[in-house]
Structure 1
Amino acid sequence: MAKLDETKMKTIKYWDAGAPAYRWNQLVPELTAQKFEVALRMPSAWMNMAIYDATVLAWREKAKYQRKRPHQVDPSLKPAINAPQTFSYPCEHTVTAAAAAHVLAYFFPAKADSILQLGRAAAQSRIDAGVQFPSDVEAGWKLGEEVAKQVIEKAKQDGSATVWKGEMNKDPKKWTGKYPVGINLVSYVPLVLKSASQFRPPAPPDFAADMKEMKEFKQTFKSAATAYFWANSGDLWTDLAGKKMFEYRLQDDAPAAARIYCVLSTGYHDAAIAIMDAKYAYWGVRPNQYDSTYKPLISTPPFPGYPSGHAAAASTSCGILSYFFPADAEHFRKLAKDCADSRFYAGIHFRSDNEVGLAMGRELGRYVVETLMQKQGSVSLKSWKGK
């Protein structure tokens, strides 16, 4: 601490913001932005499962050893930041950093060295700040690394290596394209769902009435803005979860924060699988294919339309966040509805796609929360489908 300088203080304050998992959840979208094939495997789910399991194990060790913080042992030592009101050994920020860094290094091997260096920087910042002993950090790193190794072994069995050998749809009344993007997700192993088809909706309707409504829709500035916003919204729901943790001051409760991130990202992982299962079960046609004279506001995604992935994923996330932040449930529902409507405004989804997607997501989100929380908040290796 006697060697603290401005550079070290910037690092300390950066990693001290929010819960230990906060910065790592900000990093994942940056990594996946240019790696679509990796993004489909949803590394955030695997990372957050590792963080949560490692954090739970760290808390058991804290309760076992009850080691005091450095400034409690030596009152003359003044931490550079507010010290957590928890036992010191092992370090919660380090166990998170090690778990996250090793999982992300597996998914992004070309950037493994820099990711692991970030993890080490996060860990060292706690020593530099005077809130952890070096041995707290050492133990936390070993624990996080061991959990990550087990998670990585499970991730290797996620089904992503399966090669699709099916046939493209040739029915002109259904979706057609050069290649069925995302169809491999149907072979992925769900983390909570019993199967990819567990929440598959019924077959889509005839889209004649939907098409008529879409062609008669009068675009406004607000509707166009909504369409563009949700088309480029990024990982809004994870960001929103982080914001709510700040608002409710949960950043100091590392296990609670890690659990929220874990359930949310796990739910999104399984929602993506279920969505693609439904899309390729029906090969639902897109508006600009149903009527070639129709021109959408934005580019149409290269996969079937029914049900809307944006609507289903938003509704799933809404249900999960509503469980953890019930006072904000109405706000979450409005966001999910806006997200669904935006795809109609954009001209790339029929209203039926969106309504079915919202309903599907509500059921899926409820199931994920009920299944995981019935285990008294434990999202452990033993509970995973891929064992």
Structure 2
Amino acid sequence: MKPLSLILLLLVLIFSSCQKNKQEYTRLTNNPEFLRKAERKLTQVIIHDVFGPPVAARIYAYSSLAAYEALLPAYPQYRSMAGQLNEYTATPKPEADQEYCFPLASSRAFLLVGRQWTFSGDMIDDFEKDFYESFEKALPTDVYERSMQYGEAVAKHVIAYSLKDQYKETRGFRYTVTNQKGSWVPTPPAYMDALEPFWAKIRPLALDSATQFRLKGFPAFSDNPASDCYKEAKEVYEAVKFSTEEEKEIANFWDCNPFKMNIQGHAAFATKKMSPGGHWMSIVGLTTRKTQKDFMQTAEAYLLTSIALFDGFIACWDEKYRTVRIRPETYINNLIDDQWQPLLQTPPFPEYPSGHSVVSAASAVTLSALLGDHLTFADSSEIAYGLPVRQYTSFKAAATEAAISRLYGGIHFKTAIDDGFNQGDAVGTWILNKIKTRQ
């Protein structure tokens, strides 16, 4: 064989080998389980650090935004959030004509933003060592390093964006209880201060403002047994007093209380769980896996659901601290039965509307649009807390059950549940109409 022919043959073999290697590492790394695994780790850190529901939703939203934006260069049919989310500007672009592993960049960006807004970085340190090693073994060194750097660049951009949402400006302020009739006061057993009383000042991601979907309101406070207010309280009282085992299971399944205070004699200890947002992010992972969504589709589902959670809590908290409605526990103990206790522990913030109803409805709207109105799924999110798997015929069915669980648990009046669900539906619909992920 002539020398030139031999050289050409060797070049072809080398090129073919490189192409095969690229195909192989693309197959190994383009696996949405990496993103699901990162999300589960972030949830564990959020639980450990005891973030309240609105703050947890904020962490999920910015982390998911970073993951989505870092993945975009590999999916030109998808659109950036630049110019779509309030005040969000163009994300840094990767170098032209360079090879990247964008799933690695996406995972890196997600974890870096999560680290920024949580406290227990050591938990992420331990996790990252094994996590990145999977990519490092599969990728050429230059591709690995370049992809990690791009993920860092996207994370820095999203972190800079998050720093301007008024979160830091609302730290350290406390709510002053007025003790006016019908107004919220701290509840037993811990009598905790009001949680995030200034959350409505946080910049929404998709809503025009926190006040965009204000609600019609609830029955005026009255201690008259013939009043609508008293009847609502009696409904909660009897829902707990005569609850079935199924209703108790539903209430506990959707409890999602990040910090339950347990009092036994003179001893006190806390029980930690995932927040409502954590539960719905878990559902995203479960259902995108069931429907075999790819990395980008999974990132898209996390993004839109987390936006629904974030903006849902902003709209809800605007109502809560504008109306400052009394909790059923306080009303019932004062006017119906001073020995009555709710099944669930009453959260430390005003009653109206039900936050779980708002964010569950908003999440169901976005997930139904992405994965289908009638997707049946098994929700195993609460297994870690000793609770059984529950089956649902749709996202709306799950959200409806999450909402009514607040009545079964004795922590919300029915108007707060119904109006909250309607507000969440409006928030979710707005997000779908405003935010376009596909070209």
Work out whether 1:239 is the aligned partner of 2:282: yes
Distance 2:115 2:236 in 1: 45
- Deviation, 1:196, is 1.0
1:298 to 327, 333, 344: 344
Matching residue of 2:267 = none
Residues 287-326 of structure 1 mapped to structure 2, 5 A cutoff: 287-292=328-333, 293=337, 294-326=340-372
- Segments of structure 2 that go 5 or more residues without pairing to the other structure are 1-27, 77-92, 187-191, 221-228, 257-272, 376-392
CA distance in 1, matches of 2:51, 2:39: 19
* RMSD of aligned Cα (Å): 2.7
Corresponding residue for 2:386? Answer: none
Aligned residue in 1 for 2:211 = 197
- Give the conservation status (yes or no) of the 8 Å contact 1:287–1:347: yes
| Matched residue, 1:142 | 149
CA distance in 2, matches of 1:215, 1:102: 46
Equivalent residue, structure 2, for 1:30? 44
| Structure 2 SS opposite 1:183 | coil
Equivalent residue in structure 2 for 1:213, among 223, 230, 235: 235
Give the 5 Å matches for 1:183-194. 183-194=197-208
Aligned letter for 1:275? C
What whole-Å deviation, never above 9, does each CA across 1:273-293 have from its counterpart, x for those lacking one? 111111111011111112212
Residues 238/114 of structure 1: CA separation in 2 closer, same or farther (3 Å cut): closer
* Superposed CA offset, 1:271-319 (max 9, x none): 1111111111101111111221242112111111110011111111111
Deviation (angstroms), 1:17: 6.1
Matches within 5 A, 1:246-261: 246-250=289-293, 253-261=294-302
Between 1:163-172 and 1:187-196, the stretch displaced more is: 163-172
C-alpha distance in structure 1 between counterparts of 2:126 and 2:141, whole Å: 17
1:179-233 CA distance string (max 9 Å, x none): 3212121221111111111112122223222112223332111111111111147
Are 1:92 and 1:140, in contact at CA under 8 Å, matched by a contact in 2? yes
Query: How many Å apart are 1:114 and its aligned residue?
Result: 5.5
Instruction: Specify whether residues 147 and 101 from structure 1 end up closer, same or farther in structure 2 by C-alpha distance, changes over 3 A only.
Output: same
**Change in CA separation of 1:227 and 1:166 when aligned onto 2, cut-off 3 Å:** closer
Measured after TM superposition, the shift of residue 141 of structure 1 is: 0.8
- The secondary structure found in structure 1 opposite 2:394 is helix
Aligned equivalent of 2:412: 349
CA–CA separation in structure 2 for the residues paired with 1:346 and 1:104: 31
Preserved CA contact (<8 Å) 2:174 2:194: no
Q: How far is the alpha carbon of 1:125 from its aligned partner?
A: 1.2
Quote the residue 1:332 is aligned against: 395
Amino acid at match of 1:215: Y
Letter in 1 for 2:183: K
Contact 1:123 1:137 in 2 (8 A): no
- In structure 2, relative to structure 1, the CA distance for the partners of 1:39 and 1:344 (3 Å cut) is closer
Structure of greater Rg: 2
Distance 1:314 1:91 in 2: 34
After TM superposition, the structure 1 stretch with the greater mean CA deviation from structure 2, 53-62 or 307-316, is: 53-62
Match of 2:194 in 1: 180
Determine the structure 2 residue equivalent to 1:158: 165
Q: State the Cα distance separating 1:264 from its structure 2 match.
A: 0.7
- Return the letter of the residue paired with 2:59: P
Amino acid at match of 1:223: E
- Which residue in 2 is equivalent to 1:6? none
Could you tell me how far 1:57 is from its partner in structure 2?
A: 2.8
Cα distance 1:135–1:240, how it changes in 2: closer, same or farther (>3 A)? same
d(CA) in 2 for partners of 1:339, 1:114: 30
Normalising by structure 1, we get a TM-score of 0.79
Identify which of 227, 242, 250 aligns with 2:251.
227
CA distance in 1, matches of 2:36, 2:308: 18
- The equivalent of 2:421 in structure 1 is 358
Q: Distance in 2 between matches of 1:59 and 1:23?
A: 21
Larger helix percent: 1
Aligned residue pairs total 337
Number of the residue aligned with 1:93: 103
Is 2:309 aligned against 1:268? yes
Q: Distance in 1 between matches of 2:347 and 2:255?
A: 11
SS at match of 1:146: helix
Call closer, same or farther: CA 1:162–1:168 in 2, change over 3 Å.
Answer: farther
2: CA distance between counterparts of 1:240 and 1:118? 22
TM-score by length of 2: 0.71
Q: 1:63 to 1:324 in 2, by over 3 A?
A: farther
